[in-house]
């Protein structure tokens, strides 16, 4: 990291204020839990449900008497879809507010911004978003699904249904670039071909030329790993060009930001997605969860998203580990998590996979149908095989990097 005057001042200011204000920590202080999510700007479609889920999880825990006899306190930082704020708030959470754990980061870019900060200041970090996989860092736990759990299932399903030739459109940053390589890998393994992979910066709204290119390439289906509010116009323009009827689509990101509710059914019906959680999952834990969520945030809450559930489950796993460790000390909690802690969550059983710090969980393939997600097929207890192939934190606890797929 380069130190210029601004970051130096910020750093010293944070350190100084930490010294001034937080010297009086006694046992009955509430336990600080930091939430670092985008609540405004282009990524707030993802951030808001995540923070709501975390709020509910903490309120439930407090109502049940807190953790270790102490109440929990949610400290909320709005990063405003701005990467610089991630650094600033991660430092503030670690140094000034001295939180026990940070839940946060939405895009993979933001995760890579805060991960080194929290490593340096020794603050436990939960990244609760479905992402491209491969992060290997003893200080971090990843509760979202990765390509070996979702893409690996959805590619053969879609190829069987539609055909072997795939055209990939993806967001232009580490998530889209790495995920599209996983798509390519699984398409090739299933005997298909990827005719092209196109990347789009997050602010692109004109997809006309790309739609022409896709038509010229004549794929059997399109795979979308597009991200954020601006990219929604791809689906609109695709439907407006009359393409939805002739070339179907599968996605690793669609509906995560409730795109299926923003768009009209004519613009996105029939699209296939694959995630860990859908609001309509039929099991008693989920039905109770949805009921209490609606009681807290209103029955008209549009949809409890995959990312919201990731955050909820992330918090529950951490809380379980704190109980087991009998302490909020970072290393003790990590040790407790590495025993392979497990919870009965609304999405089914979720277990920490000790060598990778990722999760073993259920995934489901679903279809967009009139603003709902209709579950078509279930896959129980999927392992994070992509990260497991390269990462073993039990053998190499000092490993600290993101492994990237090579084809």
Residues in touch with other proteins (CB under 8 A): 40-42, 44-45, 172, 198-201, 203-213, 215-216, 229-230, 232-233, 236-237, 239-243, 246, 262-264, 266-267
For other proteins, give the closer residue by CB, 256 or 319.
Answer: 256
For other proteins, give the closer residue by CB, 213 or 372.
Answer: 213
For other proteins, give the closer residue by CB, 48 or 185.
Answer: 48
Report the distance separating Cα 398 and Cα 249, nearest Å.
Answer: 41
Q: How far is the CB of 104 from other proteins (least distance, A)?
A: 18
Q: How far is the CB of 192 from other proteins (least distance, A)?
A: 22
For other proteins, give the closer residue by CB, 7 or 237.
Answer: 237
Report the distance separating Cα 182 and Cα 134, nearest Å.
Answer: 11
Q: How far is the CB of 80 from other proteins (least distance, A)?
A: 10
Q: How far is the CB of 230 from other proteins (least distance, A)?
A: 7
What Rg do the C-alpha atoms of the chain give, in angstroms?
A: 21
User: With contact defined as beta carbons under 8 Å apart, do 268 and 239 qualify?
Assistant: yes
For other proteins, give the closer residue by CB, 40 or 381.
Answer: 40
Q: How far is the CB of 158 from other proteins (least distance, A)?
A: 22
CA distances from 303 to 16, 96, 252 (A): 42, 35, 17
For other proteins, give the closer residue by CB, 201 or 397.
Answer: 201
- The residue length of the chain stands at 407
For other proteins, give the closer residue by CB, 142 or 267.
Answer: 267
Cβ-Cβ contacts under 8 Å for 265 (sequence gap 6 or more): 369, 370, 371
For other proteins, give the closer residue by CB, 229 or 348.
Answer: 229
Handedness of CA 97, 36, 54, 121 (dihedral sign): negative
For other proteins, give the closer residue by CB, 242 or 298.
Answer: 242
Q: How far is the CB of 40 from other proteins (least distance, A)?
A: 5
User: With contact defined as beta carbons under 8 Å apart, do 125 and 296 qualify?
Assistant: no
Q: How far is the CB of 208 from other proteins (least distance, A)?
A: 5
For other proteins, give the closer residue by CB, 217 or 375.
Answer: 217
Q: How far is the CB of 52 from other proteins (least distance, A)?
A: 14
Q: How far is the CB of 390 from other proteins (least distance, A)?
A: 29
Q: How far is the CB of 211 from other proteins (least distance, A)?
A: 8
């Amino acid at each position: 990291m380069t130190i210029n005057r601004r970051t130096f001042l910020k750093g010293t200011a944070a350190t100084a204020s930490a010294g001034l204000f937080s010297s009086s920590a006694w046992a009955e202080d509430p336990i600080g839990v930091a939430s670092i999510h985008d609540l405004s700007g282009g990524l707030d479609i993802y951030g808001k449900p995540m923070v709501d889920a975390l709020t509910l999880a903490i309120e439930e825990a407090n109502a049940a008497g807190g953790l270790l006899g102490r109440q929990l306190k949610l400290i909320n930082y709005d990063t405003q879809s701005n990467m610089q704020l991630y650094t600033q708030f991660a430092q503030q959470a670690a140094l000034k507010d001295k939180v026990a754990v940070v839940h946060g980061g939405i895009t993979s870019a933001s995760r890579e911004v805060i991960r080194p900060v929290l490593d340096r200041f020794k603050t436990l970090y939960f990244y609760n978003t479905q992402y491209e996989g491969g992060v290997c860092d003893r200080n971090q736990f990843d509760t979202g699904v990765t390509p070996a759990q979702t893409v690996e299932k959805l590619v053969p399903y879609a190829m069987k249904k539609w055909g072997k030739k795939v055209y990939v459109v993806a967001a232009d940053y580490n998530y889209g670039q790495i995920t599209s390589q996983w798509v390519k890998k699984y398409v090739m393994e299933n005997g298909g071909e990827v005719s092209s992979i196109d990347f789009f910066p997050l602010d692109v709204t004109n997809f006309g030329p790309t739609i022409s290119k896709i038509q010229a390439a004549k794929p059997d289906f399109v795979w979308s790993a597009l991200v954020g509010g601006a990219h929604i116009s791809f689906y609109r323009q695709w439907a407006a060009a009359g393409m939805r009827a002739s070339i179907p689509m599968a996605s690793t990101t669609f509906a995560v930001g409730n795109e299926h509710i923003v768009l009209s059914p004519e613009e996105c019906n029939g699209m296939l997605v694959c995630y860990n959680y859908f609001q309509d999952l039929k099991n008693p834990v989920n039905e109770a969860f949805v009921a209490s969520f609606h009681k807290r945030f209103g029955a008209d809450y549009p949809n409890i998203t995959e990312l919201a559930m990731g955050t909820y489950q992330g918090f529950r796993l951490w809380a379980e580990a704190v109980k087991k460790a009998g302490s909020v000390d970072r290393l003790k909690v990590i040790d407790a998590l590495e025993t392979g802690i497990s919870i009965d969550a609304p999405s089914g059983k979720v277990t920490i996979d000790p060598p990778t710090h990722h999760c073993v969980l259920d995934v489901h393939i679903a279809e967009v149908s009139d603003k709902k997600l209709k579950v078509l097929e279930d896959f129980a207890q999927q392992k994070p095989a992509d990260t497991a192939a390269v990462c073993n934190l039990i053998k190499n606890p000092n490993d600290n990097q993101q492994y990237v797929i090579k084809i």
